Amino acid sequence: MGVRATNMGKIASIDLGVEHLSVGLVDAATQRMKVVYRERGNDPGFMRRVFKVLDGAGRLDGIGISSPGTIDMNKGIILGCPNLKIRNLPIVERMRDRYGVPVSLLNDAIAGVMGEKFYGAGREESNIAHIKFGSGIGCGVIADNRVLLGKDGNAHEVGHYVINPFSTLKCSCGKFGHWEAYCSGRGIPNFVKYMLNGKYSHARSSLRQKKQLVAKDLFTAAKKRDKVALDVLKVVGMINAMGIANVINSYDPELITIGNSVVLENEDAILRPIIKDVGKYTVNRVPKIIVTPLDYRLSLYGAVSDFL
């Protein structure tokens, strides 16, 4: 944070996702962003591809990076992201050495809430939460117009809120009963398998035929009125309402936006049960809850908001 320069021209933004990699270029004068590179999937060779895109981008005046996993924001290091096979990557130094410009690193959900505040639905609001439903579940918060970062920039690991103390479903962190074990992109297929082998072990379901279950299969099967899929989706909806209620009770935001792949591919199926049930679990007044209008570009905007 606090990276700022004058007479800016073009700022590069990198959104490093577990399931995607995007690069944008922002004209500092107009603040217009052009997404110049986007790929689905990701692998450890991503740095080479980012370099290739940026090498051909002309003169840069700054680079903002949005990263999943755990970061040390002050040292500019991605400490760990098992899904990307990253450990202790000094990404800020690598970028600075190559391009000789200021570089900043933000947690992806925090980049998300900054994107919402400066370019999205939260421009008029002082208290905003953004919740990402990607391979995990993360949250960024602006409270009283201040971005809450935490000591290393990893504030709001809400995906590991406990929503079921009796759970035997293992979370990606190795512990039990966490929100993202049920409702994230990686959690949903595990939860479906858990239910097919448990409560629904004798039930017929099209989901049983899938060799490599992915989150999307649940939503597709529910659309086709598969009974197991409809029941599981109902539980996912209820747990999402609980998780979001915890965020409302913690931070009292006036706006919550939700985004990333699980939401953007299934907007109505995710949003509707949250709106319907969140009030059952809140003590604070329920805020406006919407899908982010900046879709997949949200963290790209947020990652460079510090420069503009």
Q: Which residues bind Zn ion (CB under 5 A)?
A: 160, 171, 173, 178
Would you state the structure tokens that stand for residue 35, as one six-digit string?
Answer: 């997404």
Whichever of 160 and 186 has its CB closer to Zn ion, that residue is: 160
Smallest distance, Å, CB 179 to Zn ion? 8
Whichever of 171 and 242 has its CB closer to Zn ion, that residue is: 171
Looking at residue 82, what DSSP letter applies? G
Short-list 22, 216, 223, 39, CA closest to 133:
216
Whichever of 155 and 171 has its CB closer to Zn ion, that residue is: 171
Whichever of 137 and 207 has its CB closer to Zn ion, that residue is: 137
Whichever of 49 and 170 has its CB closer to Zn ion, that residue is: 170
Whichever of 126 and 167 has its CB closer to Zn ion, that residue is: 167
Rg of the chain, C-alpha, whole Å = 19
Smallest distance, Å, CB 177 to Zn ion? 8
Cα-to-chain-centroid distance, residue 142: 15
Smallest distance, Å, CB 157 to Zn ion? 8
Smallest distance, Å, CB 154 to Zn ion? 14
- Residue the block writes with tokens 């009770």: 249
Would you state the structure tokens that stand for residue 103, as one six-digit string?
Answer: 């570089």
Whichever of 173 and 264 has its CB closer to Zn ion, that residue is: 173
Short-list 16, 3, 142, 13, CA closest to 74:
3
Looking at residue 10, what DSSP letter applies? E
Looking at residue 270, what DSSP letter applies? H
**62-67 sheet: strands from edge to edge:** 32-40, 20-27, 10-16, 62-67, 103-107
Q: Which residues pair with 10 in a beta bridge?
A: 27
Q: Which residues of 28-40 are buried (b: 16+ CB within 10 A; e: fewer)?
A: beeeebeeebeee
Smallest distance, Å, CB 170 to Zn ion? 9
CB nearest Zn ion: which residue? 171
Smallest distance, Å, CB 221 to Zn ion? 26
- Residue 275's identity, in one-letter code, is I
- DSSP for 14-37 reads EEE-SSEEEEEEEETTTTEEEEEE
Cα-to-chain-centroid distance, residue 305: 17
